[in-house]
């Protein structure tokens, strides 16, 4: 797990207020540790995804919630399909 400061050091183009807004919008859900946020690898990946959607694909803030919801549903469906495939064929990976 890493702190906000470490995350912002790793992502120098990410303003702290953007990260805080993304947390308050519930787009990123870091753990709370000793009054500060603690980011797991999955949280860092999510922050990078949001940053890429915003900066490279130009997804605006109004649309971001919908885009993230659809991506979450897609990833969940892929996970379920893997589990189903393993149930049908235990040798499948």
Q: Which domains does the chain have, with CATH numbers?
A: 4-88 (1.10.1660.10)
Read off the tokens for 60: 């605006």
Is residue 27 within 8 Å of 14, Cβ to Cβ? no
pLDDT at 40 over 80: yes
pLDDT at 92 over 80: no
Beta carbons within 8 Å of 46's beta carbon, 6+ residues apart? 27, 28
pLDDT at 93 over 70: no
Q: pTM surpassing 0.75?
A: yes
- Specify the DSSP class assigned to residue 57: S
The mean pLDDT value for 27-42 works out to 92
Read off the tokens for 37: 């946020």
Taking only the tens place, the pLDDT of each residue in 61-79 is 999 999 999 999 999 999 9
Read off the tokens for 50: 């949001």
CA 90 to CA 42: how far, in whole Å?
27
Q: Name the average pLDDT for the chain.
A: 93
CA 6 to CA 18: how far, in whole Å?
15
pLDDT over 90 percentage in the chain = 87
């Amino acid at each position: 797990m890493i702190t906000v400061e470490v995350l912002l050091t790793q992502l120098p183009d990410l303003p702290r207020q953007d990260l805080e807004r993304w947390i308050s919008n519930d787009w990123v859900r870091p753990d709370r540790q000793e009054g500060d946020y603690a980011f797991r690898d999955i949280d860092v990946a999510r922050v990078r995804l949001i940053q890429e959607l915003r900066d490279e694909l130009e997804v605006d803030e109004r649309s971001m919630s919908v885009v993230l919801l659809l991506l979450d549903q897609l990833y969940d469906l892929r996970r379920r399909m893997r589990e189903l495939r393993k149930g049908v064929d235990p040798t499948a990976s």
